[in-house]
Amino acid sequence: MEIQNCGSCGDNVSEGVQCTVCNQYLHFQCSGVTEAGYRRLGDRKFTWRCFKCKQSNTPQPPSSPRPENESAILLEIRALSAKMAPLDNLKDEFSALRSEFAELKSSFHNQYIAMIDNLNNKINGMESRIAQAEQVQEQVASIRVRLEKLEEDSDNKDQWSRMSNVEVKGIEQTKNENLIDIIQKVGTKINYPIHKSQINFVTRVPTKDPENIKPIIVCFSNRYVKEDFIAAARYEFKTTPLTADQLQLKGKHRIYINDHLTTKNKNLLSKTKKAATEANFRYVWVKHAKIHIRKTDTSPVIIIKSEKDLVKIV
């Protein structure tokens, strides 16, 4: 900007405004408009007028003789007008501010809408994944039920295949032993003689602990022989426990004769005995490969088929 003299104070003007009517240059502080306000006017700068030119367009009353001190009063009025000049440009600045605020508001609104849309998309995605997870959980629960049913069916079949079997514990193993002869000796001792033709097979089975005596498993020709064999043993054992030395066999261990249970049912029997003891149940026994319990002589008999039935022991 070419250096000009201020039309108000007369000093040089390096930065200021120019009136579009009288073409005079004015300092910003002399023009009544701030530098920032002037720059926000945009195209309206080309129609900006100084205070004097604005006053010249205002109708004036007929001139009359002026007193001698009119110049001093006029100077005071001009000074006051210069101070009030910013009010004339306040409307323009306010309009510019309003425009900026509207743009800012629009920008915030767009950002807010975008943020809400983003959150909604994330929530929808999470809801979809949760629904999928719940569906998988339902499928897992269904598969678990089916698996438990298959395991139960498999164990029942395994137990059924042992319905003619008896497990004999407490007889030590010896070299060249004759297991059929041993079973016949047991039958004679419990007053239930066994003929060789009534035995399908007889064998020993290993135990988890090698130090323990291997039990003898005998499979009778039918379940009725097996049931009668066990019943006779229990009847005799009520009064006189049987030991190996009574059969002229090695050792003095007590002999136990029971149903040949599956591993699962053996574990269930062990847990049943523990729960029954804690709940003061007097009787726990196995009949037809099923676990029975009774609290007293007059209490109803409860059959324990699975661990879920243990809650009945109260």
What pLDDT, on the 0 to 100 scale, is given for residue 61? 46
Return the ∠ at Cα 24 (arms to 22 and 30), rounded to 5°: 120
Distance of CA 211 to the CA centre of its chain: 48
Are residue 241 and residue 309 in the same domain, yes or no? Answer: no
**Rounded to whole angstroms, how far apart are CA atoms 257 and 254?**
10
Where does the pLDDT of residue 57 fall: very low under 50, low under 70, confident under 90, or very high at 90 and above?
A: low
Over range 125-145, report the average pLDDT.
Answer: 89
Return the ∠ at Cα 226 (arms to 179 and 310), rounded to 5°: 110
What pLDDT, on the 0 to 100 scale, is given for residue 26? 87
What percent of the chain stands above pLDDT 70? 92
Are residue 223 and residue 293 in the same domain, yes or no? Answer: no
Q: Which pair of structure tokens corresponds to residue 301?
A: 């008999």
Higher pLDDT, 308 or 15: 308
Are residue 192 and residue 222 in the same domain, yes or no? Answer: yes
Range of the domain at 191: 163-260
Q: How buried is residue 135: exposed, middle or buried, by Cβ count under 10 Å (0-12/13-18/19+)?
A: exposed
**Rounded to whole angstroms, how far apart are CA atoms 304 and 283?**
13
What pLDDT, on the 0 to 100 scale, is given for residue 104? 86
Task: Tell me the HSE value of 64 on the side-chain side, using a 13 A CA sphere.
Answer: 4
Q: Which residues of 183-213 are buried (b: 16+ CB within 10 A; e: fewer)?
A: bbbbbebbebebeeebbeebeeeeeeeeeeb
Q: Is the pLDDT of residue 198 over 80?
A: yes
| Of 83, 76, 85, the residue nearest 38 (C-alpha) | 85
281 lies in a domain?
Answer: yes
What pLDDT, on the 0 to 100 scale, is given for residue 60? 45
Are residue 43 and residue 13 in the same domain, yes or no? Answer: yes
Lowest mean pLDDT among 56-70, 189-203, 271-285: 56-70
Over range 39-68, report the average pLDDT.
Answer: 69
63 lies in a domain?
Answer: no
- Tell me: the pLDDT tens digits for 81-125? 776 666 667 777 778 888 888 888 888 888 889 889 888 998 998
- Tell me: the pLDDT tens digits for 236-281? 998 889 999 999 999 899 999 999 999 999 999 999 999 999 999 9
137 lies in a domain?
Answer: no
Over range 37-63, report the average pLDDT.
Answer: 74
**Rounded to whole angstroms, how far apart are CA atoms 102 and 108?**
10
What pLDDT, on the 0 to 100 scale, is given for residue 247? 93
What's the predicted TM-score (pTM) here?
Answer: 0.56
Are residue 272 and residue 199 in the same domain, yes or no? Answer: no
Q: How buried is residue 28: exposed, middle or buried, by Cβ count under 10 Å (0-12/13-18/19+)?
A: middle
**Rounded to whole angstroms, how far apart are CA atoms 72 and 100?**
43
Give the CATH number for residue 230.
3.30.70.1820
Return the ∠ at Cα 196 (arms to 193 and 199), rounded to 5°: 95
Are residue 252 and residue 277 in the same domain, yes or no? Answer: no
**Rounded to whole angstroms, how far apart are CA atoms 26 and 6?**
5
Contacts of 38 (CB under 8 A, 6+ apart): 17, 28, 31, 45, 48, 89
Where among 232, 260, 288 does a domain terminate?
260
DSSP output for 47-65? G---HHHHHHTS--PPP-P
Over range 30-37, report the average pLDDT.
Answer: 83
Count helices and strands (H / E) in the chain: 7, 11
Q: Are 167 and 257 in contact (CB under 8 A)?
A: yes
Number of domains in the chain: 3
**Rounded to whole angstroms, how far apart are CA atoms 282 and 268?**
17
Lowest mean pLDDT among 3-7, 21-25, 133-137: 3-7
φ/ψ of residue 85, rounded to 5: -55, -35
Where among 260, 282, 304 does a domain terminate?
260
What percent of the chain stands above pLDDT 90? 46
Q: Which pair of structure tokens corresponds to residue 119?
A: 């959150």
DSSP output for 219-281? EESSHHHHHHHHHHHHHHHTTS--BGGGGT-SS-PBPEEEE---HHHHHHHHHHHHHHHHTT-
Q: Is the pLDDT of residue 64 over 70?
A: no
Are residue 275 and residue 235 in the same domain, yes or no? Answer: no
Give the CATH number for residue 42.
3.30.40
Average of per-residue pLDDT values in the chain = 87
26 lies in a domain?
Answer: yes
